[in-house]
Structure 1
Amino acid sequence: MRRTDGDNGRVAAGVGAGVAWALAAGLLWGLVFVAPLMLPDYPAALLTVGRYLAFGLLCLPLAWIDRHELRHLRRADWLHALELALAGNLLYYLLLASSIQRTGGPLSTVIIGTLPVVIAVVANRRDAARDGRLPWRQLLPALVLIVAGIALVNHVELQAVRADPARRVADYLLGALLAAGAVACWTWYPLRNADWLRAHPQRSARAWSTAQGLATLPLALAGYALLLAWGAWGGPGPVQPLGPRPEAFVLLMAALGLLASWLGTLCWNAASQRLPTALAGQLIVFETLAALLYAYLWRGQGPAPAALVGIALLVAGVLWGVRARPEAVIAQAHPD
């Protein structure tokens, strides 16, 4: 059946709306990268538990909406949600916030920006039988571009660290390692999350997101209690429950819980409903670009020319990598 001009117009409008939703998600998710710079006097652990306390509390009314779906989840499903919440939420953001406070933002952001291709490389071995294998000849140029981009941004940022007597190179290098740890967490998370979704195609994706938010809440509460106890009895000094700037902390954590954790995911789901998966994957780069924009705006300066070239190389590498198409893996018959 031939498409009419009206059909083509509706398809184009749907794609345009999907891109707009993806852009909105990226702008919202980018906020989590600048929050540690806005509250540099707060430990990363307090920022982490604060954000996910807000997210978990927001999921309570959502749980009432999805109560019928949630009743079908078994004990094994809730344990799966707990491990996803621990690694993909709490541990990931703890590493990310710690990294940003040590590197200043841009380097951590470009390292996290490699996630689409890193996930593709890991999944290429892990899930080839299920999802197909990405040709390495298509991935290699993307990896080269990404490594070159990170190297350029790292060179610029490291020069700035060496020129600033208030900053230490050792802290900066530790921040880069912490960002790599955050990449590891969020490489593991979508693979394990996809395992559950593929195994339960009849379950609501929205209800599963709500379940992970509910699973995050007790973990964040326990982390908050441990943080306060450590400050009172074992740490270098008492931890103020809401830190030195309570109003700013509460408002920012509520904003992250509502805008980044809930509304950002809602926007991304809306984009995913309207766009081909291959195109939606490329648009994850909006998050990286938004995070870099916010970091440089917070600094009150633009990127140096070399850093700008590095960012362009990173974006090119990610776009190249996510355009690779998987090839079906044909199982060979075992010889008799």
Structure 2
Amino acid sequence: MWLGVLYALGAGLLWGLVFVGPMLLEEYPPALQVVGRYLAFGLIALPLAWIDRRGLARLTRADWKDALKLAAIGNLLYYFFLSSAIQRAGGPLPTMLIGTLPVVIAIVSNLRNGDRDGRLPWSRLALPLLVIAVGIACVNQVELNALRADADADTGRYIVGGVLGLGAVVCWTWYPIRNADWLREHPDRSPRVWATAQGLATLPLALGGAVLLWGGMALSDSSFPMPLGPRPAFFLGLMLAIALLASWLGTLCWNQASQRLPTAMVGQLIVFETLAALSYAFILRDVWPEPLTLAGIALLIAGVVAAVRVRPQYPG
């Protein structure tokens, strides 16, 4: 179990990098960041596919359909919502909305997967979930106070960013549950092969998106320099780094965790992504977190430690 927790921690540290891109590429359209990241992910998956060709050959047409759905919703749509939310509302609000995922996924998973994974007792799960929620609220309060103090804040843009952030939450409530379902239904399959399969499924979707985006910008006489924007070398390097570290290696770590832990438990460990994203945001801001923020982070960690100690109960 603890090996699964370590894999989830690694996934969270790597996935936290996806919050950095929109902050470093503020002048780039979110759709371009999406197709750029996942074109890079798909291209990285090609040599990996040669290495895993025997495992990939075992996948059925139904498996590839599942990989395509996971790629479309958990990769492209999720990142479009997230990057759009960050550019409109800033980093803190979307980060904290994503931070609610441990609570949302744990509740949804416990309701639908109790017979298969064992049901985590609500009486013992309630307190860790409450601690996680209070920790998220503490961090969020600090960020909201800072936003209220900004006289130039655009309330309408901020609200739109919040709605887009909720869209990202919906995508990533569905993705880890469906991904874990597939992995648990196929215990003989390699998590690495499944991560590579999702990368391959992402490539045609990203290519189609890139063509549509380029064509749309050309028709609208956009002044944005396509296809790589005003900082091509930096854009390419960042997209490749996020694709390799977050998209492929992060997914691999998460798949390893999903095969070792109950879905309700692994869902709570997405809190590591929130902690990583907040840490990276403070590093970019070059400021030290306020005391209430540090208290919130401590509560998040305490809630996770308490949650992973809860053992599932099986029917009968």
TM range (shorter): 0.7 to 0.9
Amino-acid identity (%): 61
For 2:74, the equivalent position in structure 1 comes to: 88
Which structure 1 segments of 5+ residues have no match?
A: 1-13, 331-336
Shift, 1:19, TM fit: 7.2
Matches within 5 A, 1:1-336: 24-234=10-220, 240-266=226-252, 277=261, 284-330=270-316
User: TM-score, normalised on structure 2?
Assistant: 0.87
Deviation at 1:272, TM superposition (A): 7.8
Residue 91 of structure 1: how far off its partner (Å) = 1.0
- Larger radius of gyration between Structure 1 and Structure 2: 1
Counterpart code for 1:181: G
**195-204 or 316-325, which moves further after superposition?**
316-325
SS in 2 for 1:92: helix
| Contact 1:282–1:323 under 8 Å retained in 2 | no
Q: Does the 8 Å contact 1:19/1:271 carry over to 2? A: yes
Q: Specify whether residues 268 and 103 from structure 1 end up closer, same or farther in structure 2 by C-alpha distance, changes over 3 A only.
A: same
In 2, Cα distance between equivalents of 1:225 and 1:127: 40
- Counterpart of 1:39 in structure 2: which amino acid? L
Structure 1 pair 235/79, CA: closer, same or farther in 2 (3 Å)?
Answer: farther
Answer whether contact 1:44 1:98 (CA < 8 A) is retained. yes
Bigger drift between 152-161 and 260-269 goes to 260-269
| Deviation readout 1:96-122 (Å, 9 max, x if unpaired) | 212222333233223323323322210
The separation in 1 between residues aligned to 2:294 and 2:19, in whole angstroms, is 18
TM-score, reference length from structure 1? 0.82
- Partner of 1:117, secondary structure, is helix
- Shift, 1:66, TM fit: 1.4
Which 10-residue stretch deviates more, 214-223 or 198-207? 198-207
Label 1:77 to 1:267 Cα distance change in 2 as closer, same or farther (>3 A): closer
Q: Which amino acid aligns with 2:74?
A: G
- Secondary structure at the aligned position of 2:21 is classed as helix
Amino acid at match of 1:226: L
| Distance in structure 2 (CA, Å) of the matches to 1:195 and 1:281 | 12
8 Å Cα contact 1:228/1:238 also seen in 2: no
Matched pairs, number:
314
Q: Is the 8 A contact 1:111 1:179 kept in 2?
A: yes
Does structure 1 retain, via aligned residues, the 8 Å contact 2:271–2:300? no
Give the superposition deviation at 1:309: 2.3
Conserved? CA contact 2:4–2:257, under 8 Å? yes
**Where does the alignment leave 5 or more consecutive residues of structure 2 unmatched?**
none
In structure 1, distance between residues paired with 2:21 and 2:134: 27
Q: Give the partner amino acid of 1:123.
A: S
Q: Which moved more, 1:228-237 or 1:76-85?
A: 228-237
Distance 2:137 2:221 in 1: 37
Which digits, 9 at most, give the CA deviation of each residue in 1:20-78, with x for residues without a partner? 76655443322111111111111221111111111110000111111122222222221
